Copies of this chain bind each other. A is one copy, B any other.
Amino acid sequence: MHSAATVPAAPSSRVQTAPATSAASAAAPLNPGIVFDMVQAHQKTAALKAAIDLDVFRAVGQGPGDLASIARHCSASERGMRILCDFLVINGVLTKEDGHYKHTPSSAAFLDPASPACMASVAHFLSASALMDADTQLAEIVRNGRTYLPGQGSVEPENPLWVEFAEKMAPMMGPMAGPLGKIVLDGHNGPMRVLDIAAGHGLFGIEIAKQNTQAHVTGLDWAPVLRVALRNAEKAGVKDRYDMLPGSAFDVDFKGPYDAVLLTNFLHHFNKATCVGLLKKVRGALKAGGRAATLEFVPNPDRVSPPMPAAFAMTMLTTTAEGDAYTFAELSAMYSEAGFKAVTEHPIPMSPHTVVLGTA
């Protein structure tokens, strides 16, 4: 129990006597707010999810943005809606002017269902109970050093999570496809064969097929996942150049040789030895001079920056047995051990992702 006697004079008086302006300074020596903010952070996830579920971002986009209109659109109370919308403003995903709520450029693009780039499904996927359940067991997860899920966690064979991923994460991954395609093709526009391992939504391979009309793409994933990719290939008008190779990347015959192999959002689920083994198999399926491209969260060597790629390691701790957010040095070493020659990194601007390219 904490008592009056244990509340110290020193830190508290230091807090009290510091000028108010220094609160905003990064050099402020003591900030209990940072602890309070971190403890309360769960409310941010909940508020975003509730706002999406209540259709708040569509209501704001349609206007006029007064509280009564938004509450009516969402069939919600004004008290609840005011507090929710204010909370969204505090967290930078709405603005408030003269009592009217408006979109920020980011909320208009990424949270309004009227926007083709809407990420609502991404929020839905990432806040699904399978991922949130880890919260209550994190101390035990840290003790054991592995996911609380059985076996290999999220990468257990035929995990239905990946159909969800394919269906819901496209808005987050789609914008990466263009830059990845350019990096992989590097101006190449002749006939080529491309293998898209862990194709998921299929957007990366499909983008290659769009950028190079002579590219033939083979998507590899669990069969139910590939059905999502095939629908996307059909919508993109490249279905006639899209083949499916259902199964596990570790088990199926890749049926090479390929000019390029895509390994997007995949290596982070496994330990280094497993990654090297898979990269060897990939290299064996590439033509000489062919390219293997991973899309990854790649933190700096300090592993604590930039924030988003570095923090991704936490998701790999909670959902996999031995996965990680690997640094470029680690990925490069894996590529080299698998026999690749040049290994280069290509951060995608305005995103937390990096393409790492190895040449066979």
Contacts and interface: CB of A to CB of B under 8 A. Distances in A.
Interface in A41-85: 41-50, 53-54, 74-84
A178 B84 CA distance: 33
Interface string A206-247: 110000000000000000000010011101100000000000
A344 interface: no
Given A30-B106, A232-B3, A11 B175 contact: yes
Given A119-B32, A135-B43, A7 B350 contact: no
Interface residues of A, number: 133
A18 to B, nearest CB: 5
A267 to B, nearest CB: 16
A191 interface: no
A273 interface: no
A174 B12 CA distance: 8
A119 B87 contact: no
Interface stretch (A151-159, A299-307, A330-338): A299-307
Contacts of A231: 1, 3
B232 A349 contact: no
Contacts of A143: 54, 74-77, 80
B8 A117 contact: yes
Contacts of A352: 33, 36
A161 interface: no
A141 B38 contact: no
A33 to B, nearest CB: 6
B236 A170 contact: no
A339 interface: no
A346 to B, nearest CB: 12
A50 B8 CA distance: 26
B4 A46 contact: no
B42 A123 contact: no
A97 to B, nearest CB: 9
Contacts of A9: 178
Interface of A: 1-9, 11-13, 15-20, 22-23, 28-50, 53-54, 74-84, 86-87, 89-93, 96, 105-107, 109-111, 115-117, 119, 121-123, 126-127, 132, 134-136, 138-139, 141-146, 167-168, 170-172, 174-175, 177-179, 201-203, 206-207, 228, 231-233, 235-236, 302-305, 307-308, 310-311, 313-317, 322, 324, 347-352
